Amino acid sequence: MNSYYQSLFKELQTKMEEEKYQEAYDLIHQEISVPYVPQDCLDRLMEYEEDCRPYLKEETKSPSIEQVFSWIDDPLKQDLVIPFLKTVNLRQYPEEVQSLLNKDLLPEVKGELIEYLMEQKIDLPFQVEKEGWEITFIPSAILDEHSDPTVQEVLALFDQWFSNEDPAFQNFCITLFHQEILSRRPFDFSEEEALPIAISIVRLVYDAFMRDDEFEIFIQNHELCQVQNAVLYIERRGE
């Protein structure tokens, strides 16, 4: 065991001896959230976590990862699993991740899980059904929002069109676009053109506010009549 983990375990033992169980618990979860923890160290961290649990205040006590994963086969709870996984070292749980991807969850919910895999640069293959096709993907190979030039161009268009005249409308566009990004996963936008996507997002926001006539004015004012709208994933779900 390297000196880092020796020091960490000594600190945890000290905190627990001083009855600082919440601090020890938080430190444990900070450590197990990193992309890689040696298995022997992870096992020991989980033992410390269980030792801390009885001493935590009920309102601050989060369910164990085992409890969370027990929800996967419960249709009423399975979509609640994913928010708990943001700080979990997912490399340790490929079978549970794949089981979630196999469930009948909303595309953006699965997309959120895929984003967590991307953030941790997981290089294991996973499968997900997308519009009737079985897609195999490697999370670390997917472009994230900040690295995807098309995503950045769409955001720049929203800024160009609305930042001065209607920043609230711009925020609605960004929110809906983020939903589209999640719904598309595991695909990124590297093969897409930015302008049709941006126009389609704007169209949906105008439609949501029942301001269709203003969308037509927007198209004319920006000389976009010749640009064909894209069909978004968030629209296809309702077909």
Question: What is the DSSP pairing of strand 126-130 with strand 133-137?
Answer: antiparallel
Q: What pLDDT, on a 0 to 100 scale, did the predictor assign at position 57?
A: 67
CA torsion 184-231-150-212 (nearest 10°) is: -120
Three-class SS state of 237: coil
**Half-sphere exposure for 197 (CA within 13 Å, toward CB):** 25
Q: Tokens 């992309």 sit at which residue?
A: 35
Considering only residues 61 and 34, tell me which one the structure prediction assigns the higher pLDDT.
Answer: 34
Mean pLDDT of 77-84: 80
Considering only residues 215 and 237, tell me which one the structure prediction assigns the higher pLDDT.
Answer: 215
Spatial distance between the Cα atoms of 166 and 196, rounded to a whole number of angstroms: 20
Q: What pLDDT, on a 0 to 100 scale, did the predictor assign at position 74?
A: 83
Q: What pLDDT, on a 0 to 100 scale, did the predictor assign at position 2?
A: 66
Q: What pLDDT, on a 0 to 100 scale, did the predictor assign at position 33?
A: 64
Q: Tell whether pTM > 0.75.
A: no
Q: What pLDDT, on a 0 to 100 scale, did the predictor assign at position 82?
A: 85
pLDDT band at 149 (very low <50, low <70, confident <90, very high): very high
Q: What pLDDT, on a 0 to 100 scale, did the predictor assign at position 136?
A: 97
